[in-house]
Amino acid sequence: MLGFPVPYTNELIYSTVARAGTHLGIESPKELLDEVFGNRKVIATLDLPCHLQKIADLYPETLNLDVENLANRHTLLPIYTPFVNENRRLQCLKWMSGVSQGAVHLALGVVASRVQQGQNLRYCPKCLDNQQSLHGEYYWYRQWQVFGADCCLEHGQLLTSNIERHGYHRHEFFPATPKNCPNNRQNESSYQSKAVTKQVLSILNCSSLLSPTCHQWTSYYKCIAKNSGLNRGHQIQYASIKQRVIEHWGRQWLSAHGLTPKDEQSCWLRTIFRKHRKSFSYLEHIVVLDALLSSGWQFEDEIKSVFSHPRDPYNSYKVPVIQLVNVSETNVYREKWMSLLCHCGVKQARANSGGAVYAWLYRHDRDWLLDVDKQHQLPTKIVNNRVDWKARDKTIVRSLCKIRDDYELDLSNPRRTMKWFLSHINQASTVEKKICNLPLTRLFFDKYCESIENYQIRRITNIINSVPLDSHNWKPWKILRLSGLSEERLREKARRFLELIVRENG
């Protein structure tokens, strides 16, 4: 594609594609997808778009707009990458360069996050006026679409546009226009919005492209608690942290953003000071750090501080075992342990009078013991007896038989597939996931699910029974049109049925 626009500073890729459609005068969303991506199935994703390799191929190498630079400068990926491990960051970049089918949003925790996305795109009308005077057109800044960063630091509170983030037309890229972004009056921004927006801009413009490890974040927050005087030895004073967070941000703002601290053990504020086994969102980090650090802190500086901590916990050094006994005694213990392993696995051998032998070998012949144990590990058999699948199978089949009998004479129903039957019972998801444990249910579907040919015959029969057709109107094309079929889609069995009906009544 020739003439694809170069993205402005902090402009979303979504906005660049939308401007390309405006520049080329393309009104059809599908035609724009063909021109830019060569694929009519691309979904217009605002925050973490895919197919970035297609976009990068449209630019010359001198612009230095490869996939990684596009993702870091013109998407919302930098909002999430500092809080996930490096392998996941690289995997997300790989997905964004091609096709992810939603995997990026799942891997970065966007789907399950308590930080919810807004319903509509947001904008600052005065910033749009500045864009118009400088560049002659509007475009979407990426910081406008970050939840919690609800203001422009220069002009005030952001406004909500007429464009839905997840609208009905999911393949259409909507440009920023005066119609979509009316120049309404802005309210003054709150100090909470200003604080979040300032740190979001710091994250988006962070020079570091690597991701800290979970252990680095764990050590960092331990130092934060210690430097703030909110610890007692290794114990964190959660009540004091909770009080400072609420006093700093206010209960109303925290509740509006789903971050109200609770006294439960699983509360996000309590777990962020524990060992990091999962990532936390940018907004949770900002809420904690802004309440505990001194004013004037910058997120980019704190990221550098996180990197100063060890990447991994200190590994226990493997102390070489000094052979203090003779070889014959070692061989005796080896033979005892091997005889136990021949009758049962490692776990059972240790439990059944083999604990002392295991302990001796671990102290004096550890390398041999560990190698032998790996070779004799037995697979763990897990038997789930919580559900009586035989009784459940019979109950589901009875429900399905009742549905079959109730709708047997109704010829106007949709095709009676497995999905159709399951939509009429309460345990649809269970049947779909555990169909291998339900042989009678599987047999029912094999016998009573309607094939395409039978469904077409039923549609033709329904038209013949419900619509009066005189002797002059028994035409195949008319019956097909009334039944919603066509010559191209008609199967052979249904075609013979139609010919038979027309021949007998024509």
Q: State yes or no: pLDDT of 416 exceeds 90.
A: yes
Task: Give yes or no for residue 52 having a pLDDT over 70.
Answer: yes
- Write the DSSP symbol of residue 11: B
Report pLDDT for 314.
Answer: 60
Average confidence score pLDDT of the chain: 88
Q: Strands 231-232 and 159-164: what pairing?
A: unpaired
Amino acid at 112: A
Res. 198: pLDDT tops 50: yes
Across 302-310, average pLDDT: 89
User: Rounded CA gap, 205 and 199, in Å?
Assistant: 10
Q: Indicate the pLDDT class of residue 452, thresholds 50, 70 and 90.
A: very high
- Angle between helical axes of 86-97 and 67-74 (0-180°, round to 10): 100
In contact, 18 and 175? CB cutoff 8 Å: yes
Domain spans of the chain? 1-189, 212-307, 327-375, 389-450, 467-505
How far apart (Å, rounded) are the C-alpha atoms in residues 231 and 215? 19
Place of tokens 């998407």: 75
Note the pLDDT tens digit of each residue in 92-126.
Answer: 999 999 988 889 998 988 888 888 787 889 999 99
In the prediction, which pLDDT does 317 show? Answer: 43
pLDDT of residue 316: 41
Report how far residue 171's alpha carbon sits from residue 444's, in angstroms, rounded to the nearest whole number.
Answer: 39
Q: Say if CB 17 and CB 74 are below 8 A apart.
A: no
Q: How far is CA 281 from CA 53, 115, 236, 406, in A?
A: 27, 7, 21, 51
Assessment of whether the complete model's pTM goes beyond 0.85:
no
Residue 272 scores a pLDDT above 90: yes
Write down the H helix ranges in 407-475.
Answer: 418-422, 428-433, 439-448, 452-466
- If one counts every other C-beta atom within 10 angstroms of the C-beta of residue 9, the result is 9
d(CA 28, CA 458): 38
